[in-house]
């Protein structure tokens, strides 16, 4: 979690979207709390913990309050985590929320949005408040209780926030510089 | 959850307290969000779901923000769910938050606080906001995500609240008028 | 697990039985595999892991093949883990297999059957083969896979057995000489 | 489970093997109990339940007793569940037991071994006894207790067997003629 003054959430740089007719623009989501799950379809902790949680969020909250997005940020095994593979994955796992493919990096394996947000691996959870500020950036799975708490805070407040952002269980993450733990 | 105007949370009517040197008075908790778990030590869903969650809340939130209380509201098997039995239970399950024994009912098996709050069984979860209003009364276990969300809302707001309170999984509860499900 | 020659399973020394009209005599169970769960109703690992497993065994195997027994071996908190409390516990947790109260020790807190079998705490799982030999004595919860494997072996064999008996997760047990872990 | 006389387990028809230097021949496994998990890397129940169980079996049993094999039987999404994708999947999920790619069907989407064994979907669990007879064919995930029980029986016996084979939870399977449940 970045210290210091709040920063606006950078725009997403995406290639393809699933489960939505029009690409999602963060600017148009002002007024809502946005939860973004950066994942890879071959990341075990993403599949077992974070994407099921994303489905729960998508079902529990109304679309006017909370927008749940998936971001397929592939930084390894690019040849097999293709758009076609992702489409089959989304279908088999019955993911119903909008999912974007992070635009491929121009100078290396790290995709563009992942670079902009300086994500260290997958899963990563991003929380953006109603004013468009990035409030949480957690590597690894975040448990339901702290995540629900933070979303509740962000739904109610403007810029006031808890002092401690929720932490992910990075021990189970796939890291940019290493294998999946 | 009662509709209509907000109601002040009734005072607790208690007999004995554990894990605290002085009895807890709800009036002195103004400014904090209070989470009360009404339970029975022989209620399976209380033991397997709600009390572990109470421990998690007690560990996750700071005491300045959230106060977690247990309330042993015995409405059946009074002869074996005694204070001595509860003390052993608290020790073996390593419950560290303040726990009160609900004062025995004067005209029947339902204890006094349980009557005042019109609880239908155990577990029941009560959420009281910073101003002392009762905001949630749920029968059965409430999942971490909606509970965390509601606590987050109550930590931030004054009287504004989500329209839908979280619901418990009453299918697993012990009901006042029946066996444990 | 005792090394060396096989030993006959000692007789149970019991006080009261539940869920059976006549006390169970191990001698009359020759020809069946017997699984005995020594437990205490205030032992967390017993309640969360071992007794649910006992219920599963009782449902899965036919009574001609496998006999599942509970043994309430109280070595602490004797004043609250009474027969009346156990009866309420059995009712609320809907335990349907025969359960005996281990006869109180004559010279100390350890009950008689627990002494005979030299059990170190609860939960303990005992497996007795079709010929009445004690084949497994494990402290702590034994996972379903090794337990199922051993029962399968004992259902098929006479005296031949796997070299390694299944091990319990003693880290979660209540020990005779200490608190519950 | 086929009724009537026991049938020899058909040979596997495979394309590529992982985690083994030489292709596995069922004939050379006589004397061991063989557990085969037919799976697809995009089948949710395979990923969440059956492959973790296969890992547990592989760790728990000695290689002299039980041989655990994976069989990637792709009957849908052939274009994305390629050998390269499977190799990445095996690496990320840290599967250590031998895994074969079921040879593609010559007349349709169903691969050859899947046809020979008349499997209805994934996951499917196959148990082959020490003499090479197919003893269990279950669609869907089989719980640890019945699976362990059956393996124990097959480790001890020759042709004698329990009357009821374990059943899988087919409600969660991906079926040949339909979507994943």
Q: pLDDT: is A12 or C166 the higher one? A: A12
The answer to whether residue A159 scores a pLDDT higher than 90 is no
Q: pLDDT: is C179 or C115 the higher one? A: C115
Q: Which residues pair with B138 in a beta bridge?
A: B125
pLDDT at A12: 98
Tokens matching residue A10? 């950078």
Rounded-to-integer distance, Cα D171 and Cα D141, Å: 9
Smallest CA-to-CA distance from C139 within C113, C161, C171, C163 is with: C171
Q: Which residues pair with B36 in a beta bridge?
A: B69, B126
* DSSP string computed for B105-162: PSSSSS-HHHHHTT--EESEEEEE-TTSEEEEEEESBPPHHHHHHHHHHHHH-SS---
Q: Is residue D2 part of a domain?
A: no
Contact between A47 and D51 under an 8 Å Cβ cutoff? The reply is no
Per the CB < 8 Å rule, is A156 touching B156?
A: yes
User: Distance, in angstroms, between B36 CA and closest chain A CA?
Assistant: 16
- The mean of the pLDDT values for chain C is 91
The answer to whether residue A3 scores a pLDDT higher than 90 is no
Q: Is residue D136 part of a domain?
A: yes
Query: Which of B55, B57, B152, B158 is best to mutate for the A interface (most A CBs within 10 A)?
Result: B152
Rounded-to-integer distance, Cα D38 and Cα D28, Å: 20
pLDDT at A156: 87
Percent of chain D scoring above 70 in pLDDT: 91
User: Distance, in angstroms, between D120 CA and closest chain C CA?
Assistant: 25
Its ipTM equals: 0.91
Please name the helix (run of DSSP H) or strand (run of DSSP E) that holds residue D145, with its range, or none. Answer: helix D144-156
Average pLDDT of the residues in C88-93 = 97
Q: How confident is the model at residue D163 (pLDDT cuts 50, 70, 90)?
A: low
The answer to whether residue A120 scores a pLDDT higher than 50 is yes
Contact between D108 and D114 under an 8 Å Cβ cutoff? The reply is no
Q: How confident is the model at residue D177 (pLDDT cuts 50, 70, 90)?
A: confident
Burial class for D133, CB neighbours closer than 10 Å (0-12, 13-18, 19+) = middle
Q: Is residue C143 part of a domain?
A: yes
D80: contact with A, CB 8 A cutoff: yes
Rounded-to-integer distance, Cα B74 and Cα B122, Å: 9
Please name the helix (run of DSSP H) or strand (run of DSSP E) that holds residue C146, with its range, or none. Answer: helix C144-156
The answer to whether residue C107 scores a pLDDT higher than 60 is yes
Rounded-to-integer distance, Cα C140 and Cα D67, Å: 28
Q: Of C28-42, D91-105, D163-177, which range is least confident?
A: D163-177
Q: Which residue has the tokens 């608290």?
A: B90
Q: Is residue D75 part of a domain?
A: yes
List the single residue in A with minimal CA-CA distance to B163.
A62
- Write the residue in A143, A144, A149 that is nearest to B151 by C-beta: A149
Q: Of A77-91, A147-161, C135-149, D13-27, which range is least confident?
A: A147-161
Return the C-alpha torsion angle D152, D157, D161, D162, nearest 10. -40
Q: Is residue D1 part of a domain?
A: no
Rounded-to-integer distance, Cα C21 and Cα C98, Å: 9
The answer to whether residue C171 scores a pLDDT higher than 90 is no
Q: Of A13-27, A131-145, B73-87, D159-173, which range is least confident?
A: D159-173
What phi and psi, each to the nearest 5 degrees, are found at residue A85?
-65, -40
pLDDT at C87: 98
What angle in degrees, to the nearest 10, is found between the helix axes of B144-156 and A51-60?
Answer: 60
Q: Which residues contact C146 (CB under 8 A, 6 or more apart)?
A: C166, C167, D60, D148
Contact between C34 and C67 under an 8 Å Cβ cutoff? The reply is yes
Rounded-to-integer distance, Cα D110 and Cα D120, Å: 10
| Number of domains, chain B | 1
Per the CB < 8 Å rule, is A179 touching D44?
A: no
Percent of chain C scoring above 70 in pLDDT: 91
User: Distance, in angstroms, between C42 CA and closest chain B CA?
Assistant: 6
Q: Which residues pair with C68 in a beta bridge?
A: C35
Per the CB < 8 Å rule, is A152 touching B150?
A: yes
D52: contact with C, CB 8 A cutoff: no
HSE at residue B78, side-chain half, CA atoms within 13 A, is: 11
Rounded-to-integer distance, Cα D50 and Cα D174, Å: 13
Smallest CA-to-CA distance from C120 within C82, C84, C170 is with: C170
Q: How confident is the model at residue C12 (pLDDT cuts 50, 70, 90)?
A: very high
List the single residue in C with minimal CA-CA distance to D153.
C152
Rounded-to-integer distance, Cα B83 and Cα B89, Å: 10
List the single residue in C with minimal CA-CA distance to B180.
C92
Residue C119 belongs to what domain range? 7-175
Burial class for A148, CB neighbours closer than 10 Å (0-12, 13-18, 19+) = buried
ω into residue C123 within 30 of 0, thus cis? Answer: yes
Q: How confident is the model at residue D127 (pLDDT cuts 50, 70, 90)?
A: very high
pLDDT at C163: 56
For residue C103, what is the DSSP state? P
Looking only at Cα atoms, what is the longest distance across chain B?
A: 44
User: Distance, in angstroms, between A131 CA and closest chain D CA?
Assistant: 37
Rounded-to-integer distance, Cα D17 and Cα B90, Å: 54
Q: How confident is the model at residue C168 (pLDDT cuts 50, 70, 90)?
A: confident
CB count in 10 Å sphere of residue B160: 8
The answer to whether residue D118 scores a pLDDT higher than 60 is yes
Contact between B121 and B111 under an 8 Å Cβ cutoff? The reply is no
Looking only at Cα atoms, what is the longest distance across chain A?
A: 44
For residue B58, what is the DSSP state? H
Domain of D121, CATH number, reads: 3.40.30.10
The answer to whether residue D160 scores a pLDDT higher than 60 is no
Q: Which residue has the tokens 């004559």?
A: C106
Smallest CA-to-CA distance from A114 within A65, A64, A173 is with: A173
List the single residue in C with minimal CA-CA distance to D144.
C145
Q: How confident is the model at residue D162 (pLDDT cuts 50, 70, 90)?
A: low
What is the torsional sign of CA D99, A40, A50, A19?
A: negative
Smallest CA-to-CA distance from A140 within A10, A44, A74, A41 is with: A44
D83 three-state secondary structure:
helix
Ordered mean pLDDT values, 10 residues apiece, chain B (181 residues): 72 98 96 97 97 97 96 97 98 97 96 97 96 95 96 78 70 79 64
> Looking at beta carbons, which residues of chain B come within 8 Å of A151?
148-149, 152
Burial A92-106 (b: 16+ CB within 10 A, else e): bbebebbbbbbbebe
Q: How confident is the model at residue D159 (pLDDT cuts 50, 70, 90)?
A: very low
B60: contact with C, CB 8 A cutoff: no
**pLDDT per residue as tens digits for the range A56-98:** 999 999 999 999 999 999 999 999 999 999 999 999 999 999 9
Q: Is residue B2 part of a domain?
A: no
pLDDT at C2: 41
pLDDT at D26: 97
Per the CB < 8 Å rule, is B92 touching C48?
A: no
Segment 156-175 of chain C within 8 Å of chain D by CB? 156-157, 160, 162
Cα dist. D93→A160, B153, C145, D2 in Å? 41, 38, 21, 33
- The mean of the pLDDT values for chain A is 92
pLDDT at B163: 57
pLDDT at C162: 54
Rounded-to-integer distance, Cα A126 and Cα D73, Å: 37
User: Distance, in angstroms, between D89 CA and closest chain A CA?
Assistant: 6
Angle at A28 between CA A24 and CA A30, to 5 degrees: 125
B93: contact with A, CB 8 A cutoff: no
The model's pTM is: 0.92
């Amino acid at each position: 979690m970045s210290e210091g003054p709040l920063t606006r959430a950078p725009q997403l740089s995406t290639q393809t979207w699933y489960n939505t007719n029009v690409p999602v623009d963060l600017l148009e989501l002002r007024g809502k709390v946005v939860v973004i799950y950066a994942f890879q379809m071959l990341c075990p902790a993403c599949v077992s913990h974070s994407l099921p949680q994303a489905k729960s969020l998508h079902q529990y909250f109304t679309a006017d309050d909370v927008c749940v997005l998936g971001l397929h940020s592939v930084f390894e095994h690019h040849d097999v985590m293709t758009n076609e593979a992702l489409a089959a994955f989304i279908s088999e796992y019955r993911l119903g929320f909008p999912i974007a493919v992070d635009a491929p990096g121009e100078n290396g394996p790290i995709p563009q949005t992942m670079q902009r947000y300086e994500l260290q691996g997958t899963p990563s959870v991003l929380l953006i408040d109603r004013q468009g500020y990035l409030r949480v950036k957690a590597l690894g799975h975040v448990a339901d209780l702290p995540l629900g708490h933070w979303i509740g805070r962000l739904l109610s407040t403007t810029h006031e926030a808890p002092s401690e952002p929720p932490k992910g269980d990075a021990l189970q993450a796939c890291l940019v510089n290493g294998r999946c733990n």
